[in-house]
Structure 1
Amino acid sequence: MSDLQLVPGNSLLTATPEEGRQLAVKLARLIIKLTQPDDEKRRQQRAIYADNPMMLISIGQTVAAEFATIAAANNYWRDQPQAH
């Protein structure tokens, strides 16, 4: 197993939804890095998915799933005042 830390700081807790969304993106990127640890192969594959709308949508779905987990861990930021 890689020594890659898949949950930075070993916590899903964030102060705001924005920070939670940023963490979701980071987690999605980390799982790609774990799945394909070769930097050069990942660079080569970017050209494949960059022009494929379905693959880009899939990336968005992965981030959304990560964000849902983070939001639940943060009780949907209920205690935080929401800007309108």
Structure 2
Amino acid sequence: MSDSVQLIPGNSLITETPEEGRALAIKISRLVIKATQPDAAVRERLRPIYAEDAAMLIAIGQTVAIEFATIAAANNYWKK
């Protein structure tokens, strides 16, 4: 993996709201792809492939859901 990619923006999973948590989950999911495939040209070349593949899109959704579950737990599910 690339050492130059900060995988947790701001080095924290803490967010003010679930909406911010969901946005962070999407960001983290994208950073994982960038870290595992650091070549931007390759990522651009692959984008049309997964954009047309329902199974790959579902997998992306699952990845975001897993990241969001982790963030929700870190935020005590935003219980006040």
**Normalised TM-score (structure 2):** 0.96
The number of equivalent residue pairs is 79
User: 3-state DSSP class of the match of 1:2?
Assistant: coil
Greater gyration radius: 1
Q: Which runs of 5+ in 1 are unaligned?
A: 80-84
Local SS of the residue matching 1:69: helix
Q: Which residue of structure 2 aligns with residue 24 of structure 1?
A: 25
RMSD: 0.6
Letter in 2 for 1:19: E
Deviation at 1:55, TM superposition (A): 0.2
Paired position in structure 1 for 2:55: 54
TM superposition outliers: structure 1 runs of 4+ over 2 Å: none
TM-score (norm 1): 0.92
Structure 2 portions without partners, runs of 5+? none
Quote how far apart the aligned CAs of 1:3 are.
1.7
Aligned pairs for 1:2-81 (under 5 A) are 2-79=3-80
Give the secondary structure class of the aligned counterpart of 1:3: coil
What's the offset of the Cα at 1:60? 0.1
Distance 1:36 1:19 in 2: 26
For residue 47 of structure 1, give the secondary structure of its aligned residue in structure 2: helix
